[in-house]
Amino acid sequence: MLDKLKKHISQNFPFLAKTKLLLATSGGIDSMVMVHLFRELNFSVALAHCNFQLRGFESFGDQNFIQEYANANEIPLFLTQFDTEAFAKDYKLSTQIAARELRYNWFYELLETEQYDYILTAHHADDAIETFLINLSRGTGLEGLVGIPAQNDKVVRPLLPFSREEILAYAQENKIQWREDSSNASDKYLRNTIRHHLVPLLKELNPQFMESFQKTQSYLKESQELVEDAAIMVYQQVAKEEGETIVFDLNQLLRLPNYQSYLYQWLHEFGFTAWKDIYALVQSQSGKQVFSADFRLLKDRNQLILSPIVDETNDEQYFIEKNVREVNIPLNLTFCEADAILEASNSIIFVDEDKLVYPLVLKQWEEGDSFQPFGMNGKTKKLSKLFKDEKLSLLEKGNCWVLWSANQIVWVVGIRQDERFKINNSTKNILKIALQQ
């Protein structure tokens, strides 16, 4: 096993040479074998052990075992304890998910604060089978069937080619001590049920099951790479990135023979799970939305607009006093005196400063707001009608700010100036107001 691991590292993880490694060590057979192997290969290692306090005295027995092992072998050790059940309750997570969140957050913190390069975990081939079957039983996309990744950012899993039987044989041959987790004997968790009953049956039906499974996962990974390459090429034709916003052209999208698959590839990384709602959104009326925890997908005419969720309250007001020359929140606006109108546009206006009542107020538009658009000879128009005429998307309307003087609109910022503050023959003081993009 040692020679096989050495070759595996040389071929797939050569970057681990001469690095400082943190080994995630539970005290169980898998992690203790991993520690033994990497010490035999003369890597620079430290141990990282999490006490999740889920098994009472047994959890502290694991912690003491790791401490004694580290001390006896003069290996650096990092320990932490979590109130996992309280964390799971506070954040409405399952105990297993809560433990995973706590564990990996702490690992990454250690990498940064203690200046280690990678964290190694002892996931092996049987873990990959169990994960595959769990995901298969729950219904999953291709990424749920390709198994546990050998590397995910700074997390490396070097034992994935090895079976549980190989690890046990190595432990017995080298007289390695480990701790048994009593919860592994219970069928309370789906993984344990699969481990105790389904996997042994599959191996009994096909003695070469492990080899066949690894070949299948290799083929699935190759297929996933092809899918990802195709998704990238089509994305360039369908999507347009505008800052933090992505706009998908539905006319282009609907020409694809399997547009739902492309939407899944593009959107799953943003945390969306309501796929039926997303697929229905394509044919929905404008204004329909689907949300993930941090993003929203909005149908707007012939577009789907993906954007981060922001606080959309309309009650924020920003006051601008006389002689202020620049504001940076919520927009970048500059104010300066001018001798004449030179370059008026949607982003630059010139107003009669003597008509202004200070402080000016900058706030988001509200339903019912109206103004007198520049050039329309005093006719009043509601902002909602202006936005419709300008063909603004719902997202653009939601981000629209208005500059007020007393109870009159001076400027629908970046869109249209108000007629009442325009320059005329009697104007003595001209103020230039510019929106800096």
Q: Is 182 marked within a binding site?
A: no
Q: Is 28 marked within a binding site?
A: yes
Q: Is 27 marked within a binding site?
A: yes
- For the CA atoms of the chain, what is the radius of gyration? 31
Q: Is 29 marked within a binding site?
A: yes
Q: Is 31 marked within a binding site?
A: yes
- Reduced to 3 states (helix: H, G, I; strand: E, B; else coil), residue 43 is coil
Q: What is the DSSP letter of 208?
A: T
Nearest to 117 by CA among 78, 151, 77, 154: 154
User: Which string of DSSP letters, residue by residue, matches 81-105?
Assistant: E--HHHHHHHTT--HHHHHHHHHHH
What is the rounded distance in angstroms from the CA atom of residue 43 to the CA atom of residue 40? 8
What is the rounded distance in angstroms from the CA atom of residue 96 to the CA atom of residue 87? 11
Amino acid 299 reads K
On whether the CB atoms of residues 102 and 51 are closer than 8 A, the answer is: no
What is the rounded distance in angstroms from the CA atom of residue 136 to the CA atom of residue 403? 56
Helix axes 164-173, 29-40, angle to 10 degrees: 60
Output the known binding site: 26-31
Output the known binding site for ATP: 26-31
